[in-house]
């Protein structure tokens, strides 16, 4: 298999901590990097062991470089224009969420990519996290019967980059909003309550999906949650599954014997976890959070010219749901 050549726009904290290392682990070739500073681009290339070319103008990079795809991790307000420039240059694009600030902006970019015949993928890494991939498979294979309800929690210190509820939903909680769409389909009813005050976020939401699944979301963004936490509990006809902190999936199958369940030792829980080893270095987190998986998926879509799982077009529905959630909280 030939090496996938990627160009990058942006080298901030998130890009350097998660996206570049994940791309290197996925065996991408970093062909070029563009930031606002030539020195910063050169430093990023050195940091990730690339002999590629540095740029201080991404437009020049798009003109000069022949690559399989462009990875954009810039400020949310800058990304739409950069995405459109990449599409006009005929480049496949991976862009960090959000793709546009609302559904209308997202649709414009998704349609432009479709007309240009290029790949447009949005960075929703939770779709590629092993714990949620296994939970999705459990929902689809029917081994526990139909999924009936869910309860999800997402708690994080978002105060440094989210100053109100709209920013919190679109820059932080959007990952969980996209995840519930991935797991359960499209929401037909949304209601909610807010106890937020400025940058201190506290939200409770209830949703019903077209397939009949109902559930609740607990979102909080405040300095109390410097210890980031998330979980997803799904109840099925014959059991439940708990995805906890991205590292554990507990699958419970209901007892179906002739005697009462408390009279025996026949109930079973299956607990799936990753191994713990010093050999993983810092890569374990990149795999469990889905960063390596999404980079591998983007590269595969670039080689095959196929639509990504988290495509620009699919993202339009996620942005619409974000808007409905904000309306429900108002």
Do 114 and 135 sit in the same domain of this protein?
no
Q: Evaluate whether residue 287 is within a structural domain.
A: no
CATH number assigned to the domain comprising residue 142:
3.30.360.10
Q: Evaluate whether residue 74 is within a structural domain.
A: yes
Q: What is the dihedral of CA 64, 82, 3, 63, to 10 degrees?
A: -10
Tell me whether residue 282 is exposed, middle or buried, using C-beta atoms within 10 angstroms of its C-beta: 0 to 12, 13 to 18, 19 or more.
exposed
For position 1, what pLDDT does the model report?
52
Which among 203, 219, 210, 165 has a CA at the least distance from the CA of 189? 210
Tell me whether residue 328 is exposed, middle or buried, using C-beta atoms within 10 angstroms of its C-beta: 0 to 12, 13 to 18, 19 or more.
middle
Q: Evaluate whether residue 321 is within a structural domain.
A: no
Q: Evaluate whether residue 192 is within a structural domain.
A: yes
Which among 177, 180, 171, 291 has a CA at the least distance from the CA of 221? 171
What is the strand order of the sheet 239-244 is part of? 187-194, 201-209, 214-221, 147-156, 229-236, 239-244, 248-253, 268-272
What is the strand order of the sheet 53-55 is part of? 53-55, 28-34, 4-9, 69-72, 93-96, 120-123
Do 119 and 135 sit in the same domain of this protein?
no
Backbone angles phi and psi of 25, in degrees to 5: -65, -30
For position 24, what pLDDT does the model report?
97
Q: What is the pTM of this model?
A: 0.95
Do 40 and 111 sit in the same domain of this protein?
yes
**Number of domains into which the chain is organized:** 2
* Rg, Å, the chain Cα set: 21
Instruction: Tell me the three state secondary structure of residue 126.
Output: helix
Do 97 and 222 sit in the same domain of this protein?
no
CATH number assigned to the domain comprising residue 24:
3.40.50.720
Q: Can you state the percent helix, strand and coil of the chain, rounding each to 5?
A: 40, 30, 30
For position 268, what pLDDT does the model report?
86
Handedness of CA 4, 7, 9, 11 (dihedral sign): positive
Do 63 and 155 sit in the same domain of this protein?
no
Domain that holds residue 201: 130-280
Q: Evaluate whether residue 219 is within a structural domain.
A: yes
Which among 206, 222, 125, 123 has a CA at the least distance from the CA of 168? 222
Structure token digits, residue 272: 């799936």
Do 235 and 153 sit in the same domain of this protein?
yes
Q: Which single residue is written with the structure tokens 């009936």?
A: 148
For position 256, what pLDDT does the model report?
78
Q: Evaluate whether residue 329 is within a structural domain.
A: no
Cβ distance 258 to 241 under 8 Å? no
DSSP H or E stretch at residue 5? strand 4-9
Do 207 and 115 sit in the same domain of this protein?
no
Do 66 and 197 sit in the same domain of this protein?
no
Structure token digits, residue 316: 């339009």
- Chain centroid, CA 104 distance in Å: 20
Query: Rounded distance, CA 136 to CA 103, Å?
Result: 25
Q: Evaluate whether residue 325 is within a structural domain.
A: no
For residue 39, give every residue at least 6 positions away whose Cβ sits within 8 Å of its Cβ, in sequence order, or none.
none
Do 102 and 11 sit in the same domain of this protein?
yes
Per-residue pLDDT for the chain (330 aa), expressed as one digit of tens each?
A: 578 999 999 999 999 999 999 999 999 999 999 999 999 999 999 999 999 999 999 999 999 999 999 999 999 999 999 999 999 999 999 999 999 999 999 999 999 999 999 999 999 999 999 999 999 999 999 999 999 999 999 999 999 999 999 999 999 999 999 999 999 999 999 999 999 999 999 999 999 999 999 999 999 999 999 999 999 999 999 999 999 999 999 999 998 777 887 888 888 899 999 998 888 888 999 999 999 999 999 999 999 999 999 999 999 999 999 999 999 999
DSSP H or E stretch at residue 91? none
Query: Rounded distance, CA 245 to CA 292, Å?
Result: 18
Do 20 and 138 sit in the same domain of this protein?
no
For position 318, what pLDDT does the model report?
98
Structure token digits, residue 187: 């929401």
Do 140 and 8 sit in the same domain of this protein?
no
Do 89 and 145 sit in the same domain of this protein?
no
Q: Evaluate whether residue 245 is within a structural domain.
A: yes
């Amino acid at each position: 298999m030939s090496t996938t050549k990627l160009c990058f726009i942006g080298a901030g904290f998130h890009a350097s901590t998660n996206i570049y290392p994940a791309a290197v682990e996925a065996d991408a070739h970093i062909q070029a990097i563009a930031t606002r500073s030539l020195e910063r681009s050169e430093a990023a290339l050195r940091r990730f062991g690339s002999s590629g070319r540095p740029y201080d103008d991404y437009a020049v990079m798009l003109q000069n470089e022949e690559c399989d795809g462009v990875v954009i991790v810039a400020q949310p307000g800058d990304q739409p224009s950069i995405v459109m420039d990449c599409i006009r240059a005929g480049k496949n694009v991976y862009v960090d969420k959000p793709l546009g600030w609302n559904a209308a902006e997202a649709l414009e970019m998704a349609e432009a990519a479709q007309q240009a015949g290029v790949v447009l993928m949005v960075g929703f890494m939770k779709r590629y996290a092993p714990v949620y991939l296994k939970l999705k498979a459990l929902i689809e294979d029917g081994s526990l019967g139909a999924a009936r309800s869910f309860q999800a929690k997402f708690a994080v210190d978002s105060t440094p980059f989210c100053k109100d509820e709209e920013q919190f939903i679109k820059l932080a909680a959007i990952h969980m909003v996209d995840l519930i769409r991935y797991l359960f389909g499209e929401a037909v009813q949304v209601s909610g309550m807010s106890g937020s005050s400025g940058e201190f976020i506290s939200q409770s939401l209830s949703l019903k999906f077209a397939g009949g699944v109902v559930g609740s979301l607990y979102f909080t963004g405040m300095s109390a949650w410097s210890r980031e936490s998330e979980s997803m509990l799904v109840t099925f006809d014959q059991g439940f599954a708990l995805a906890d902190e991205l590292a554990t999936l507990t699958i419970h199958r209901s007892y179906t014997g002739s005697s009462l369940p408390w009279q025996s030792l026949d109930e079973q829980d299956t607990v799936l976890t990753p191994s713990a080893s010093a050999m993983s270095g810092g890569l374990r987190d990149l795999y469990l959070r889905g960063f390596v998986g999404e980079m591998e998926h983007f590269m595969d879509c670039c080689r095959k010219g196929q639509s990504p799982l988290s495509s620009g077009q699919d993202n339009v529905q996620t942005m619409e749901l974000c808007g409905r959630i904000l309306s429900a909280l108002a």
